[in-house]
Chains A and B, each alone.
Chain A
Amino acid sequence: MLLYLPVAEWPVNMFVIFGLGAAVGFISGMFGVGGGFLLTPLLVFSGVSPAVAVATVSAQVVASSTSGALSYWRRKAIDWKLAAWLLVGGMVGSWLGVRVFALLRTAGQLDLVVGLCYVVFLGFIGGFMVVESVGAMFAARSDRPRPAKKLREHNWIHGLPFRIRFPRSRLVISAIPVILLGTGIGFLGTLLGIGGGFLIVPAMIYLLKVPPSVVVGTSLVQMVATMSFATFLQAAQNHTVDIVLALLLMVGGVIGAQFGVQIGQRLRGEQLRALLGLLILAVGLRFAYDLVITPAERYSVAVQVGGVP
């Protein structure tokens, strides 16, 4: 059944988009990630313009993170103070992201920069996850006890000034890295149409040394808030949020996630991380492939937006 998207000005097959949302929801439920990094490219590959895809997925990320955040809230596994400080940076980053997004779109370089960012970040994170989880699998097989990681060991980041207490995380840390992390995630999330969970969770664990028990809940809260702000800015400034498309993706995603979670619970941690790492790596490689091979069509036509390119 064809459905006409009012903002994208493009008819789409309702069930295809719904299925896309459900498939990505399944994967995000299985691995406990937002899935924006899959959804945005899939929408672009299926014909939605990158500008609309990126902005619309930010609304979808709000919905998918909200249900997760609520569940962590009930378990009281959220550091609200830390989330608030991350959000301060997130709003600045998001504002910057929308500005850069508009500039790149005018210059016709949005696809290129989005593609390059995907290659760099997905390739790096995916590769790291695969190596790390495969290593863990071998260690488990050889039955050697792994050296316990000293998670609470402090690093240079903890020596910075403007220290703040985060009682829930039992952490005293400088505001600078927290705000910078929020800014970076907000910027990339807005520019690339991703929640950035796969970036912020490792950063919170390895850089800020936040206890794992509150990391996921806190990152989800900051994602809901930052991406809400991003959605609002994209709608207000770039007029590229298609709410009909977003709603289809949200409903599909929420349902798909339920089944994904059930599968995810049956897999072991290392296997799950290795699979997710491979998936992330594959998306990154796909973008790299598109950038490097000779395109079938060297010319593209677009309605001009915002002045002289």
Chain B
Amino acid sequence: MIARLRPCLLGLLALAAGAEPVAAERLIAEVSTRRVAIASNFSGTDLTVFGTVERDASTVSRARGYDIAVMLIGPRRTMVTRRKDRVLGIWINRDWRTYDAPSFYAVATTKPLADLAAEAQLDAMQIGIDHLILPEGVPGGVEVLAGAAEFRDAFFDRQRRAGLYTEYPGSVRLLGGDLFSTTLPIPAEVPVGRYTARILAFSDGSPVAEHVSEIEVTKIGFEQKTADLAAHSGVAYGLVSVLIALVTGWLGGVLFRRD
């Protein structure tokens, strides 16, 4: 069976290879750290990404050089966006939408997104906040892809203002040759989890090479132990918390005894 399929499979592979543009360029990139450690004094940090576009003999010469987009994408979470409405004079959360969205998204580019590639291209590659694809949940449990713009806009607006969704057009510097570098600020409120650094090289508005790195944002030491205990051993954590409270209160009573 397998023997009979083999020529077939080979044919398919050849077809697939032929359909792709001849990927002669290679994007080589490195991030300054693969692990962002959150300790008690964590107040945000920077992630530096640098790299180069490597060509070989078969590469067509690019008259206008390359454009680079660097994205840092946080773990996806289901986030609820709620809208307050006035009911009997009181503002109450009524309507809502959920979004299955990255908890963090930062993109740095060599030039404004509009000049980088066509809208359709940006949509397809999810480059830029407005081009992210967010599956939406609506009351009643139906999931739709293109939902109410009102909630989507509000969601992006809140995330932007919280510093969790950011765009840095023009912040990728070309250092001569095909060498590039950029620095993405990571705020103190960054969600923990597995991040992806996605780097794309464009030429004349089309992507020519891609590189993906995994980055872990994690609490370390005391913060990690405490958070782990709180999340996974609630009973033990609860007992310890009560004990600490009782001892602190008792110490306070003894130290400042007034009678």
Contacts of B158 in A (CB 8 A): 297, 299-301
Q: Which of B7-15, B76-84, B120-128, B201-209 contacts A (4 or more CB under 8 A)?
A: B76-84
Given contacts A108-B96, A246-B244, contact A237 B234 (CB under 8 A): yes
8 Å CB interface, B216-252 against A: 219, 222-224, 226-227, 230-231, 234-235, 237-242, 244-246, 248-252
Q: How many residues of B contact A (CB 8 A)?
A: 68
Asked if B21 CB lies within 8 Å of chain A CBs, one says no
Docked Cα-Cα span, A281 to B206, in Å, equals 64
Contact A304 B80 (CB under 8 A): yes
B42 in contact with A232 (CB, 8 Å):
no
Flag whether A176 is at the interface (Cβ < 8 A).
no
User: Which residue of A is nearest B235, CB measured?
Assistant: A236
Q: Are A66 and B249 in contact (CB under 8 A)?
A: yes
Cβ–Cβ < 8 Å partners of A151 in chain B: none
Residues of the A chain whose Cβ atoms lie less than 8 Å from the Cβ of B191: 9
State the CA gap A301–B165 with chains docked (Å): 13
A6-B222, A299-B151 given as contacts; is B188 within 8 A of A108 (CB)?
Answer: no
Q: Are A228 and B245 in contact (CB under 8 A)?
A: yes
Among B92, B222, B245, the one with the most A-chain Cβ atoms within 10 Å of its Cβ is B245
Contact B245 A231 (CB under 8 A): yes
Within 8 A of B (CB), among A18-73: 59-60, 62-68, 70-71
> Given the interface contacts A254-B249, A295-B84, A303-B103, does A2 sit within 8 Å of B188 by beta carbon?
yes
B39, B82, B231, B259: the one within 8 Å of A300 (CB): B82
Residue B110 lies at the interface, judged by CB distance under 8 Å to chain A: no
Does B43 interact with chain A (Cβ within 8 Å)? yes
Q: Which of B25-80 contact A (CB under 8 A)?
A: 38-43, 77-80
Contacts of B214 in A (CB 8 A): none
Contact in complex: B245, A112 (CB < 8 Å):
no
Q: Which residue of B lies closest to A237 (CB)?
A: B234
Main secondary structure of the interface of A (DSSP, over half): helix
Whether a CB of chain B sits under 8 angstroms from the CB of A139 is no
- A59-B242, A232-B242, A236-B234 are known contacts. Are A65 and B249 too (CB-CB below 8 A)? yes
Closest approach, in angstroms, between the C-beta of A264 and any C-beta of chain B?
12
Which of B77, B83, B90, B254 has its CB near the most chain A CB atoms (within 10 A)?
B90
Q: Is A247 an interface residue (CB 8 A)?
A: yes
Indicate which residue in B223, B230, B238, B245 contacts A63 across the interface (CB closer than 8 Å). B245
Residue of B nearest to A119 (CB): B90
Q: Is the CB of B237 within 8 A of A235?
A: yes
* A239-B253 in contact (CB<8A): no
A112 B235 Cβ-Cβ under 8 A: no
Q: Is A157's beta carbon under 8 Å from chain B?
A: no
Residue pair B250, A70 in contact (C-beta under 8 Å): yes
Contact (Cβ within 8 A) A62 B219: no
The answer to whether A243 and B226 touch across the interface, beta carbons within 8 angstroms, is yes
- Collect the chain A residues with CB atoms within 8 Å of residue B189's CB: 9-11
List the B side residues contacting A294 at CB < 8 Å: 86, 91
- Taking a contact as CB atoms under 8 Å apart, the answer to whether B93 and A302 are in contact is no
Is B155 engaged at the interface, CB distance under 8 Å to the other chain?
A: yes
CB of B44 to closest CB in A, whole Å = 8
How many A residues are at the interface, by size bracket?
Answer: 35 or more
**Residues on B with beta carbons closer than 8 Å to the beta carbon of A7:** 226-227, 230
Bound Cα distance A175, B201 (Å): 76
CB pair B192–A309 under 8 Å, yes or no, is no
CB atoms of B79 and A62 under 8 A apart: no
Question: Is the beta-carbon distance between B258 and A251 smaller than 8 angstroms?
Answer: no
Interchain CB contact under 8 A, B253 and A71: yes
Interface residues of A in 79-127 (CB under 8 A from B): 108-109, 111-112, 116
Q: A294-B91, A300-B82, A304-B79 are in contact. Are A232 and B238 (CB under 8 A)?
A: yes
Check: A148 CB closer than 8 A to any chain B CB.
Answer: no
Nearest A residue to B157 via CB reads: A299
Q: Does A258 sit at the interface, judged by CB under 8 A?
A: yes
- Kindly report which residue of chain B lies nearest to residue A67, judged by CB atoms: B253
B183 at the interface (CB under 8 A from A): no
B 156-177 contacts with A by CB, 8 A:
157-159, 162
On chain B, the residues within 8 Å of A6 by CB distance are: 219, 222-224, 226-227, 230
A4 touching B188 by the CB < 8 A rule?
A: yes
Cβ of A246: which chain B residues have Cβ within 8 Å of it? Answer: 241, 244-245
Q: Is the CB of A261 within 8 A of B231?
A: no
Give which listed residue, A2, A239, A299, contacts B82 with CB less than 8 A: A299
Q: What is the distance, in angstroms, from A61's C-beta to the closest C-beta of chain B?
A: 8
| Residue in A60, A62, A232, A308 whose beta carbon sits within 8 Å of that of B239 in the complex | A232
CB distance from B225 to the nearest CB of A (A): 8
Q: In the complex, which residues of chain B have a beta carbon less than 8 angstroms from the beta carbon of A300?
A: 81-82, 84, 93, 158
In the complex, the answer to whether B223 meets A298 with C-beta atoms within 8 Å is no
Closest-by-CB residue of B relative to A234 is B238
Q: Which residue of the partner chain B has the closest CB to A236?
A: B234
Give the shortest distance, in Å, between A238 (CB) and chain B (any CB).
8
Chain A residue nearest to B77 (CB atoms) is: A303
The 4 A-B pairs at the shortest CB distance, nearest first, are namely: A66-B249, A235-B238, A254-B252, A67-B253
- 12 extra interface residue pairs, beta carbon distance < 8 Å, beyond A232-B239, A244-B226, A308-B137: A4-B223, A7-B227, A9-B227, A66-B253, A67-B252, A111-B93, A224-B246, A235-B238, A237-B234, A250-B248, A299-B82, A302-B79
